[in-house]
Structure 1
Amino acid sequence: MKGTTLQEHARSRADELPGTSLEHPFGPEWEVYMVRGKVFMLLTAVTGEPIVILKAAPADGEALRSAHADITPGYHMNKRHWITLSPGESIDKALVNELVTESYLLVVENLPRTERPVDPATFGQSHAGEIGR
C-alpha cells in the first residue's frame, strides 16, 4: 500500500470513530487524532515517507512487528506501546482499519467511564482476536 493511501485509510477510519478530534499540536506536518484529549493516532511524513503511528498493547505490537515487515516500533514514541505503519505490501485496508480501531479502544478504556464515547467492552467485539493475523 502506498503511503498516501495508508494515511487516507487511517484518517477515514479515525473520522468514523465517536468523540475523535484532529489537532496539530506539533505543527502542520503532524496530524494528531485524539479522543477526549488523549492521543490515539499520529500521521506525518517527517521521516521522508507518509507513516501512521498507533497505540498497541505490548504483546500485540510485538506480534504485529514479527508478522509484518512494514510495522515497526513507534516513531518518536514509547517502543513498547506504539507501532508505526509504513508504506509496503504487508499492510492492507482491513488491517489499517483494525489497528486504528484497536488504538482508539486502548485509549478509550483508560478514560473515566463518564468520558468514554463508547463502551470498549462492546464496541469492536467483532474485531476480538484478529490482531496479529
Structure 2
Amino acid sequence: MEQVIAYCERKPGATGEYPFGPEPLVMKVGGKMFALFGDDSISLKCNPIIAQNLREQHEAVKPGYHLNKKHWNTVSLGSSLSEEELHAMIDHSYELVVAGLTKTMRAQLGAV
C-alpha cells in the first residue's frame, strides 16, 4: 500500500488528509478527493462507462464503498491487477478531478 500512496503523493498538487479521523487517508487535489484508502483497498473516481467496464473485466474492482457507485470504484489492493492497471486508474481519477477545478487552479498545477 505504501507504494500506491507514494504514487498518489507524486501527483502535482496532491495532498494527503485525514478528514474523518485517524483513518482513512484521503488524497486530494485542489481540495477535492481523488483517492480514498481503506484497509486493503483504494476508492477512485471514474467515468461511469469506464467504471462499469472495469467492474466487468476485473473481479477486484467493485462499485465505490460508501461512495456514489456510479462515479466511484473501490479496488482491492494486492489483487491480480497489475501495477500499470492500478496506476492508470489512479491517473484517470486524478485527471477527472483536475478537469473539474477552476482554470486558475489548473494553471497553478500546470494542467491548463
Answer yes or no: same fold by TM over 0.5: yes
Are residues 1:79 and 2:69 paired?
yes
CA distance in 2, matches of 1:21, 1:87: 21
CA distance in 2, matches of 1:101, 1:74: 17
Instruction: Specify every segment of 5 or more residues in structure 2 that has no aligned partner in the other structure, as ranges.
Output: none
Normalised by the length of structure 2, the TM-score is 0.92
8 Å CA contact 1:13, 1:101 repeated in 2: no
- Residue 88 of structure 1: how far off its partner (Å): 4.9
Higher RCO, 1 or 2 (CA under 8 Å, sep at least 6)? 1
Across the two proteins, how many residue pairs are aligned to each other? 110
Mark the CA change 1:110 to 1:60 in structure 2 (over 3 Å): closer, same or farther. Answer: same
- Residue 53 of structure 1: how far off its partner (Å): 0.4
CA distance in 2, matches of 1:70, 1:28: 26
For 1:65, give the aligned amino acid.
R
* RMSD between aligned residues: 1.3
Structure 1 stretches of 4+ with a deviation exceeding 3 A read none
Normalised by the length of structure 1, the TM-score is 0.78
Aligned pair partner of 2:111 in 110, 119, 126: 119
Aligned pair partner of 2:41 in 51, 57, 61: 51
Mark the CA change 1:80 to 1:118 in structure 2 (over 3 Å): closer, same or farther. Answer: farther
CA distance in 2, matches of 1:54, 1:89: 16
In the alignment, what sits opposite 1:93? 83
**Which segment is superposed worse, 35-44 or 80-89?**
80-89
- Residue 90 of structure 1: how far off its partner (Å): 2.8
Instruction: Specify every segment of 5 or more residues in structure 1 that has no aligned partner in the other structure, as ranges.
Output: 1-6, 121-133
Q: What percent identity do the matched residue pairs reach?
A: 37
For 1:118, give the aligned amino acid.
G
8 Å CA contact 1:31, 1:43 repeated in 2: yes
Q: Partner of 1:30: helix, strand, or coil? A: coil
In the alignment, what sits opposite 1:18? 12
- Residue 95 of structure 1: how far off its partner (Å): 1.0
